[in-house]
Amino acid sequence: MFPYAVKEIRTRTALSPSSMKELKYAVNPYSGCTHSCLYCYAMDMTPLRPGDREWGKTVYVKRNFIDILKMEVKRSKRGLVGMSTITDPYQPVETKYRLARETLRVLLTHGFRVSVQTKSSLVLRDFDLISEHTNISDVGTTITTMDGKLSRKIEPLTPGPRARMKIVETASKENIRRWIFYGPIIRGFNDEEENNASIIELAESTGTRIIIDRYNSYTTPDIMLEKNGIKVKDVEYNRWWRKFSKEFRDACSKRNVMCNLESEEWFFQNLDITRTLF
């Protein structure tokens, strides 16, 4: 039994057009996420159903997701698929339902390029599939901080920083294309120099690219963070981000670590698509 509500539902679509510039499609085999990250924009994009509890307390399992996906891949043009964009595909419920693994298998065997993003070391289970399709797959690991105490404050039910470091290190050893998503970076919370240095050191030692992004304001996450004493509304925010991102990228450059803003990711992904798919 899981310590939260699990509800099985049916879906009409599986391979959805993505609003993210770098992605053609998105797949979200689950709706809701029990990682319960306070900053997650998905809170404002995943309305709870009548009678259900607050965000993070209910996850919806799309039981017919794979059947729908198998039909859709046959009639859809190949392209880059984000897995996932409004849920973590490797949240704990995946241990029972295994929808992420089957989604990965269906997409890769049909020639779609898949970009996985997760905070969970459960993704290591599926490195066998990813290793067989290294030319059309990559794995991104979200790391907000290397400080376990800070991580628990904003990501209370996620695997800690050490578990996420292992994803990056294992991907490097197995020659899986990989990237670290360092974000969301919140001024005065996880932007300290020591944390920056630790992220860069991990990237350097594993030959991993870093994508950085600041916290972007959303109604419910703003409220959740403010309730937990984390200030996110700041008139100097844009000026701080320009300074921070420049200094961070300069530090990466000195260590020969590739780094780009999330807003630039479409360019890097398009380079990969051109090189690997066509």
pLDDT string in tens for the chain (278-residue length): 677 899 999 999 999 999 998 899 999 999 999 999 999 999 998 866 654 557 788 999 999 999 999 999 999 999 999 999 999 999 999 999 999 999 999 999 999 999 999 999 999 999 999 999 999 999 999 999 999 999 999 999 999 999 999 999 999 999 999 999 999 999 999 999 999 999 999 999 999 999 999 999 999 999 999 999 999 988 899 999 999 999 999 999 999 999 999 989 866 666 554 443 33
- Measured CA to CA, the distance from residue 43 to residue 191 in angstroms comes to 24
Task: Answer for the pair 66, 89: CB distance below 8 angstroms, yes or no.
Answer: no
Q: Which helix (H) or strand (E) holds 81?
A: strand 80-83
Fill in the amino acid letter for 227.
K
Task: Answer for the pair 6, 59: CB distance below 8 angstroms, yes or no.
Answer: yes
Q: Tell me the average pLDDT of the chain.
A: 93
To 10 degrees, what angle do helices 65-75 and 99-109 make? Answer: 10
Q: What share of the chain is helix, strand, coil (3-state, %, to 5)?
A: 45, 20, 40
* Main-chain dihedrals φ then ψ at residue 211, nearest 5 degrees: -110, 130
The residues, any chain, with a CB within 8 Å of residue 181's CB and separated by 6 or more, are 117, 140, 141, 142, 143, 211, 213, 262
The SS3 of residue 15 is coil
Q: What is the pLDDT of residue 269?
A: 64
| Partners of 179 in beta bridges | 140, 209
| Partners of 160 in beta bridges | none
The residue ranges of every structural domain in the chain are 5-276
Q: Does domain 5-276 have CATH number 3.20.20.70?
A: yes
First and final C-alpha spacing in the chain: 45
Structure tokens at 98: 């295994």
Order of strands across the sheet that contains 209-214: 16-17, 25-27, 80-83, 113-118, 137-143, 178-185, 209-214, 259-261
Task: Answer for the pair 221, 39: CB distance below 8 angstroms, yes or no.
Answer: yes
Place of tokens 């860069």: 200
- Give the CA count within 13 Å in the CB-facing half-sphere of 196: 21
Task: Kindly list the distances between the CA atom of residue 89 and the CA atoms of 43, 118, 192, 223, in Å, as whole numbers in the listed order.
Answer: 16, 7, 29, 25
Q: What is the pLDDT of residue 234?
A: 83
